[in-house]
Amino acid sequence: MAYGQDHIVADALTGDVLAFDSATGSVRVRKGAAAEELGACTSLFFPGCSFINYAMPLVEAVYDTLLGAGEVDGFSPLCCGKILAYEPDGAAMRTAFEQDLRDHLAQTSITRIVAACPNCVKALRELLTVEERTSAIEVVPLPKVFADLGYRLDKAIVARLLTGDESADVLLCPHDSCPDRDTGEFATSMRALMDESLYRDPMHNRNRSICCGSLPRAAGKFEAADRCAMRNLEEAQAVSADAMVTACMSCAFQLNMVQRQMPAVHFLELLYDWRIDWAAADMWMKLRFLFGDTLGVVEEEEEAWPEEAAPCEVVAESGRTFAGLGGGLPTVADEAIDAAGATIDEAERARGREVTISNEETKNIGA
């Protein structure tokens, strides 16, 4: 496979090097290629699965900004583990993954995590406080970092991105995500990036916000998910907004997927003058990165790869694929399920593998 648009990054938690091909949505992993850098990171950028799947070029741009500002000195593509709760026997799988994540973090010098996703911030804080060895690690929302650095949305850029005319008068309606309701950190810091004349709050906002529909959608309640999205549209229309703006990639996807009457944008699109093609986004995110200790992959022969990066693990381009990072010999997630005493019949177990693990779509090459 030709890789003409690679975004190559090193995972500060596992030492693996990943190459993302934005043209195909595929990724390759070279195991342990940056192992010598482990332990050097003290402040970690944690973009989250949604951000990586929907806008990898933007992830790289944000990482470069944070590096240049001295806010982070490392990166990890790993999942926070929250979505695993919605998979077959997900509770056991999530518990095993979270333990792996604590173990890896405890072995590093990381004292701070800058997380782009509201779900990740909440999940990371909860899993880190379970053990004393990780409880002191600070988790900071990405929009707060940008606000503290003095970044602000440019009204002319916002107008051009939404209308094609920099002089147009535009109004944004903030949508606040469910996991931010307790603290309001994403809501407050996203608004801090905007001039007060640029936005108007809907009737339900901050800790009273209406879910975008992602949660019921993840639980398979699609009609309820659509109703949630439409209610958000109605409230945005009630304040005469030209677009909804959010600090959550999953919210932006859901709000755009259900309706086409009003665009929903992530604030990073406006800050970086780079629109995500939400209409072309896949219904299910293709990639999630877990640890090899909680995910199994099958071995196949090596394929074409940039010479300096082989050998590697290849993650296929179709289906919902969980890629295993770190560790020695990976083990299938079923072992975590069995160890927890969970019960599941073989038909359901097979269906779960097809939907979530996709071992048949993942190749492990090299040691």
Indicate which CATH number applies to the domain containing 236.
3.40.50
Do the Cβ atoms of 183 and 297 come closer than 8 Å?
Answer: no
pTM of the model: 0.82
Alpha carbon distance 331, 318 (integer Å): 22
User: What's the pLDDT tens digit per position in 57-106?
Assistant: 999 999 999 999 999 999 999 999 998 887 777 888 899 899 999 999 99
Report the distance separating Cα 149 and Cα 69, nearest Å. Answer: 8
Instruction: State the pLDDT confidence band at 256, using cuts at 50, 70 and 90.
Output: very high
Task: Let me know whether 141 and 287 are in one domain.
Answer: yes
In a shared domain, residues 74 and 134: yes
> Are 159 and 142 within one domain?
no
Residues of the domain holding 353: 6-146+283-364
- Mean pLDDT is lowest, of 31-35, 52-56, 61-65, 362-366, for 362-366
pLDDT: is 106 or 7 the higher one? 106
How far apart are alpha carbons 353 and 8 in whole angstroms? 28
By DSSP bridging, strand 243-246 and strand 264-266 are parallel
Q: Domain for residue 318, yes or no?
A: yes
- Averaged pLDDT score across all residues of the chain: 81
Task: Assess whether pLDDT exceeds 70 at residue 13.
Answer: yes
- Do residue 118 and residue 72 come from a single domain? yes
